[in-house]
Every structure is written in structure tokens, then in C-alpha cells.
């Protein structure tokens, strides 16, 4: 059952991601960085979009032995940027997204691509997908925005349910930023004083003045691996960004 907090979270999250403008969806919500935001040349924007998509696709596919017969599923598919090239490489590709307007945009972007299916979901379950029917679940630039721990947990349980035994799961998430000395001292002080553990600041905000946080939960790599394992997903690899790149890519497989 949905709690009031989850219902509010669902509304807020949809409001946050929903946009009627394909430009806004592509270059402000999905591919956004200072270079893109300051670029006024439409042709250059298309080039940056293609380049970023290709780079991110390479990273997504790293270590995944994608086969032409596979059924694949993307959580947080946005406008279907990654689905378009991937649809050529598998039999069936399902995309789910919390935002009805992103899904509408995806229907436009993927017009004519026959082996894709798109669904608006409740932001935490995969009710439209049957058990053990998927060979590969992936998620990119989405888990980093999940702000409720129970939503992460619910998704991992759903991923384990829909994957066939031995099926692959590749997720990009954010790892915890290393704590400063001041934060570490506060942690120690709180532990000594018996207070709740201090988790460090949430750093990533979409933009000043927005009420919903852009950045969601971050995980320590060990904590993330433990969580995957607790859902019956055996961790095959974990790649960490360097320095101030706080991304983390995990590949896991459903235990047979």
C-alpha cells in the first residue's frame, strides 16, 4: 500500500520530470551540463547529444553479452534515447518511466521502432512485466534521483522478480561523496554522544529554488553491493568514477 509520503513523492517527482517540450527534456533533463546549457547552436547540440549517447551506451554495454534474442528493460527510459540504438540489437525492449510526459515524448522519439513497449509506472514497481521474462534490466541516470530508500529496495525486488535466472542487471547509481574532516568529526561526535549517524550533506540540487531534490540517495560501494546481494543479485563488477565523478556502475546477475 502506498503511504502518504510515497503519494507525495510520486506527485512531486512527476511534476519535476514532466515537461511538454522535447528540447527541455533532451537538453535540460537528460543531457545537461554547462557546455550543453550554454550552447545556442542547434547543430552542435545534436552533435553533443549523439556523442554523449554513444559514450554512455558504450559504458552501459560494458560486460553485457547482449544477444539478439533477448528481452530487455530500461527503468527511467526518459524519451528513449538509449532505447533507440538498443532496439536494433535485441528482440524486445520495454521502457518504463514515472513521468507520463517523458513517455509521451518517447513515443514520438521511437515512432516506427516496432519492438519497443513503453509504460508509465508508479516509480517503484514493474507490475506490467511478468516474472522471469527479462534477460537484461538496465537503468542509467535514474537511480541517482531516487530519494526514498524504500523505492530503491522495491525496484531491486522487482528487478529480481522479472529477471530470468542468470539474467543481467546493470545500474548506474551515485556513490557517497568522500566526507570532509569536519563531517567525519561530526560523525564521531554524534556516535560518541549516541545521536543518529550523520550522513553528510546532499550535494546535488537541480537548481536553486526547485523544491524537489535532484540528487537522491547515495550509497557506499560496499553498501550498494550488499543491497544487490540481499535481493538475490550476485555482483559481477562495480566500476567507480574517479575523483569528483561520483557515479558507480554495477553489473549483477540473478542467482540461478
Ligand X SMILES: C[S@@+](CC[C@H](N)C(=O)[O-])C[C@H]1O[C@@H](n2cnc3c(N)ncnc32)[C@H](O)[C@@H]1O
Q: Which stretch binds ligand X (CB under 6 A): 42-50, 98-106, 180-188, 244-252?
A: 98-106
DSSP 8-state class, residue 29: I
Residue nearer to ligand X on the CB measure, 145 or 254: 145
Provide, rounded to whole angstroms, the least separation between the CB of residue 6 and ligand X.
11
Q: Binding residue for ligand X (CB under 6 A) from 71, 72, 81, 175?
A: 81
Half-sphere exposure of 149 (CA within 13 A, CB side): 5
Residues numbered 20-39 forming contacts with ligand X, rule: CB under 6 A: 29-30
Integer Cα distance of 105 and 172 in angstroms: 23
Provide, rounded to whole angstroms, the least separation between the CB of residue 223 and ligand X.
20
Q: Does 82 participate in binding ligand X (rule CB under 6 A)?
A: yes
Residue nearer to ligand X on the CB measure, 141 or 238: 141
DSSP 8-state class, residue 76: S
Residues ≥6 apart with Cβ < 8 Å to 159: 75, 126, 137, 169, 231, 233
Q: Binding residue for ligand X (CB under 6 A) from 71, 76, 126, 171?
A: 76
Residue 216 near residue 144, CB atoms below 8 Å: yes
Integer Cα distance of 49 and 204 in angstroms: 22
Interaction site with ligand X (CB under 6 A): 13, 17, 29-30, 75-78, 81-82, 97-99, 102, 121, 123, 140-142, 145-146, 151
Amino acid at each position: 500500500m502506498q503511504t502518504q509520503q510515497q503519494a507525495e513523492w510520486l506527485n512531486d517527482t512527476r511534476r519535476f520530470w514532466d515537461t511538454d517540450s522535447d528540447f527541455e527534456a533532451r537538453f535540460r533533463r537528460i543531457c545537461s551540463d554547462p557546455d550543453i546549457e550554454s550552447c545556442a547552436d542547434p547543430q552542435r547540440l545534436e552533435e553533443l547529444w549523439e556523442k554523449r549517447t554513444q559514450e554512455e551506451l558504450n559504458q552501459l554495454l560494458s560486460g553485457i553479452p547482449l544477444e539478439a534474442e533477448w528481452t530487455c528493460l530500461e527503468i527511467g527510459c526518459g524519451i528513449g534515447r538509449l532505447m533507440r540504438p538498443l532496439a536494433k540489437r535485441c528482440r524486445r525492449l520495454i521502457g518504463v518511466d514515472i513521468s507520463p510526459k517523458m513517455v509521451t515524448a518517447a513515443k514520438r522519439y521511437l515512432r516506427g521502432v516496432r519492438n519497443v513497449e513503453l509504460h508509465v509506472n508508479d516509480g517503484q514497481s514493474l507490475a506490467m512485466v511478468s516474472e522471469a521474462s527479462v534477460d537484461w534490466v538496465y537503468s542509467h541516470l535514474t537511480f541517482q534521483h531516487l530519494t526514498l530508500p524504500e523505492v530503491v529496495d522495491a525496484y531491486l525486488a522487482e528487478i529480481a522478480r522479472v529477471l530470468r535466472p542468470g539474467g543481467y542487471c546493470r545500474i548506474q547509481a551515485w556513490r557517497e561523496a568522500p566526507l570532509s574532516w569536519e563531517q567525519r568529526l561530526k560523525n564521531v561526535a554524534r556516535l560518541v554522544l549516541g545521536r543518529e549517524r550523520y550522513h553528510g550533506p546532499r550535494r546535488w540540487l537541480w537548481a536553486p529554488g526547485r523544491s524537489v531534490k535532484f540528487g537522491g540517495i547515495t550509497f557506499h560501494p560496499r553498501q550498494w553491493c550488499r543491497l544487490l546481494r540481499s535481493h538475490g543479485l550476485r555482483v559481477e563488477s562495480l566500476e567507480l568514477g574517479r575523483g569528483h565523478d561520483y557515479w558507480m556502475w554495477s553489473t549483477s546477475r540473478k542467482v540461478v
